[in-house]
Structure 1
Amino acid sequence: MNMEELARLAGVSKGAVSLALNGKPGVGQETRERILRLARESGYTGHSKGKGKTAAAEANATTLRFLVFTNAGLVHEEYYQQPFFRELIHHIEERCRMGGYRLMFSAIEEKHYEQGIRTIMEEPTSGVILLGTSLESSRIADIADKLPGLIVLDTCFDALPVHFVEINNYMGAYQAGTYLTGHGHRRIGYIASEERIHNFEERQRGFMAAMAEAQVEIPRSSLLAVPPTLFSSQGPLRDKLQHLKDSGQPFPTAFFCECDYIAISTIKALGELGFSIPEDVSVIGFDNINESLIVTPELTTVHVEKERMAAWAVDLFTSSLGVPPVVSTKIKVDTLFIARSSCRRLEPVTDL
């Protein structure tokens, strides 16, 4: 049986069969299970006679699992289509390919946590990288108890004896704050995510440290919070900016946004309210997703080394093969500030 025949038997496309057999996202869980069941029943191995790896060789290959709990905070069911996660996954795939490792994907809905973890435990792999972006400390601790040698990506809890690879969120937001104050901005607004996670808390802490050093106080009216997704935040954000504009208080000359999704929405919302970017208001984001180069003007942002984060995560897995470490490792990857067109330097003025 070839892939085309298996696809016809399962009533799906060849692309869906490929995604399911390779453990990649992009196909529903029920469809994935049906394809895998039919493949087992039909003896399908995915290779023609005399070509490629045998089924036994494939089974014995070193396999790394990328584990995601969906519908938990920022991580949606189609997380692999969200720009930040899409780029991160690409780099993990590339690092595994370079090392000769097989990478499989497992997505579990948060509401099916217990059942999902049991399934993962029954299908052991050589290692697990967990996307921890929206997960709390207690949840990660429970997963680590069940999956020894776990590597957690995109968050960190110092008290847990678990491998973590995270962004230096504090540093990135501090860089953004010092850039604004260094460019003459004193009326500064802060646009946060309504959903609070470790990364955002650290960004707020770093930005406020920069404000304190420059003796800049952000008034409560200029502290806004919106949903952290690109499309859903624009309407609520526009309403809040309109209210701030109508309040009679001096409008901020710059906004720092906790992620690029919010920053892009901010640029669009400010434009709809008649503001010109950056002539009237400067905007800074965080993450440096590919879309930050598409928006007009191009977004000033904090670059996150997604490729380096992916490399550290896979390398921690590699270093643990055969020799489990006695102690865990926590890695913090620094950021790089990227100045583009959405910010400008203010001319020196007298007291505003």
Structure 2
Amino acid sequence: MKKRITMQDVADKLGVTKVTVSKALSGKEGVSEELRKNIIATANEMGYIYNSSAKALKTNKTGNIGIIVPEVFMEEDEYFYTRIYKNIYKEVSEKNYNLILTIITKKEEEEVRLPLMCKENKVDGILIIGQISIEYIQKLKELSLPIVLVDFYYKELELDCILTDNYYATYNATNYLIESGHREIGFCGNIKLTSSIQDRYLGYYKALLEHQIPINENYIIKDRNDNGEFIDLQLPEKLPTAFICNCDKAAYELTKKLQSEGYRVPEDCSIIGFDDVRHSIISTPKLSTIRVKTEDIAKYAIKRIETRIQNPDAKVRRIVIDTEIINRESVKVLNNS
């Protein structure tokens, strides 16, 4: 009989204490993000089950919820999705569920290789965090498992999804810049990558249209290539007075790029990020941003997968979580406002 992997086994493999592993897997403070991700990856490789209770939710159920995350969303300095995961862990710690995390490599996604936890009926339902290909999800659907999408959607698929109000968030933020006197406003992000980035772009676009401000294609710059890998930012020849960025990491990198070229933020160019994660605080100046309520995302994701497990025929829902603008130091009010 195959030995059950314990928390101590994971600790021994990495040469850390069991307490450190426990803190990392439960989302508690006292563990660096790099070590936390290493522990999560090692636990996943070894087949450790994230156990919040020994009891199954109900008769004939495993009591396990599977979490699938593409590896691009679990990189070393990716704080947004690790925060969502930590909040999901906190949610299930109050319920009779276990979590089983699987990080999907690009090759596994391209080859549509499903995790064993799905094929071997080890989970009652799946949360998919961060966008994965539609072909991959269609293959998952063939297993007839309850599925909830977190932070993305496909109109072709009738699946529950938990979303940030991306469209209205950047619509609001762009209006905030316009009210602050800005008329030349750029967007930083690759709109081919995810539905979230596309919706953020569309909110920005709508605000410009309503104020009869023409889109300047030169002001639309990419932070990542089409594989989701961050690239060297290419500044336009003529700089806009402000940028809306699709995430805080892009805003952080754009701030550094501008400063390396001799520009000042916000004196020469204002910047607004998105997510309100660590990048917005470690930046100089600290970044104004759009705060995403990851606690609410986690809460509704667990509530929805629980409903779907208990009632597979429940009506499909699209739950949208609101946001708020956090004004720090990276936006300048122009005199012509």
TM-score range, shorter chain: 0.7 to 0.9
Given candidates 106, 115, 133, the residue that maps to 1:136 is 133
Q: Which residue of 2 aligns with 1:42?
A: none
- In the TM superposition, what are the counterparts of 1:192-211 in structure 2 within 5 Å? 192-193=189-190, 196-211=193-208
Whether 2:336 is the aligned partner of 1:343: answer no
DSSP-derived class of the 1:152 partner: strand
Q: Which residue of 2 aligns with 1:111?
A: 107
- Pair 1:338–1:281, CA change in 2 (3 A): same
Shift of the alpha carbon at 1:175?
A: 0.9
1:346 and 1:30 map into 2 onto residues whose CA distance is: 51
Q: Which residue of 2 aligns with 1:93?
A: 89
Shift of the alpha carbon at 1:15?
A: 4.7
2:250 and 2:271 map into 1 onto residues whose CA distance is: 10
Q: Could you tell me the TM-score, scaled by structure 2's length?
A: 0.80
Q: Which residue of 1 aligns with 2:118?
A: 120
1:120 and 1:227 map into 2 onto residues whose CA distance is: 31
- Pair 1:202–1:216, CA change in 2 (3 A): same
CA displacement 1:187-215 (0-9 Å, x = unmatched): 22222227521111111111000001111
Shift of the alpha carbon at 1:334?
A: 1.8
2:217 and 2:302 map into 1 onto residues whose CA distance is: 43
DSSP-derived class of the 1:128 partner: strand
- Where in structure 1 are there 5+ consecutive unaligned residues? 40-45, 47-51
- Pair 1:219–1:323, CA change in 2 (3 A): closer
Q: Which residue of 1 aligns with 2:302?
A: 314
Q: Which residue of 2 aligns with 1:49?
A: none
1:194 and 1:322 map into 2 onto residues whose CA distance is: 36
Q: Which residue of 2 aligns with 1:66?
A: 67
Shift of the alpha carbon at 1:332?
A: 1.4
Shift of the alpha carbon at 1:275?
A: 1.6
Q: Which residue of 2 aligns with 1:258?
A: 246
Given candidates 311, 314, 318, the residue that maps to 1:323 is 311
1:11 and 1:182 map into 2 onto residues whose CA distance is: 53
Q: Does the 8 Å contact 2:191/2:198 carry over to 1?
A: no
DSSP-derived class of the 1:146 partner: coil
- Where in structure 2 are there 5+ consecutive unaligned residues? 27-35
The structure whose residues are more often helix, as a share, is 1
Shift of the alpha carbon at 1:16?
A: 11
Q: Does the 8 Å contact 2:186/2:244 carry over to 1?
A: yes
CA displacement 1:82-139 (0-9 Å, x = unmatched): 10011111110111112232222122324235443455221421221111x2323333
Q: Does the 8 Å contact 2:152/2:161 carry over to 1?
A: yes
Q: Which amino acid aligns with 2:68?
A: L
- Pair 1:178–1:11, CA change in 2 (3 A): closer
- In the TM superposition, what are the counterparts of 1:236-255 in structure 2 within 5 Å? 236-237=232-233, 240-241=234-235, 244=236, 247=237, 249=238, 251-255=239-243
1:135 and 1:35 map into 2 onto residues whose CA distance is: 22
Q: Which residue of 2 aligns with 1:26?
A: 38
Given candidates 78, 97, 107, the residue that maps to 1:82 is 78
- In the TM superposition, what are the counterparts of 1:284-295 in structure 2 within 5 Å? 284-295=272-283
Given candidates 179, 182, 187, the residue that maps to 1:190 is 187
Q: Does the 8 Å contact 2:191/2:201 carry over to 1?
A: no
- Structure 1 vs Structure 2: percent identity of aligned residues? 22
Q: Which residue of 1 aligns with 2:143?
A: 146
DSSP-derived class of the 1:204 partner: helix
1:147 and 1:346 map into 2 onto residues whose CA distance is: 55
Q: Which amino acid aligns with 1:226?
A: D
- Pair 1:321–1:211, CA change in 2 (3 A): same
Q: Does the 8 Å contact 1:163/1:329 carry over to 2?
A: yes
Between structure 1 and structure 2, the one with the greater Rg is 1
1:211 and 1:64 map into 2 onto residues whose CA distance is: 42
Given candidates 320, 323, 326, the residue that maps to 1:332 is 320
Q: Does the 8 Å contact 1:6/1:17 carry over to 2?
A: no
Q: How many residues align?
A: 316
Q: Does the 8 Å contact 1:162/1:328 carry over to 2?
A: yes
Q: Does the 8 Å contact 2:187/2:219 carry over to 1?
A: yes
2:82 and 2:97 map into 1 onto residues whose CA distance is: 19
- Pair 1:12–1:123, CA change in 2 (3 A): farther
Q: Which amino acid aligns with 1:121?
A: K
DSSP-derived class of the 1:193 partner: coil
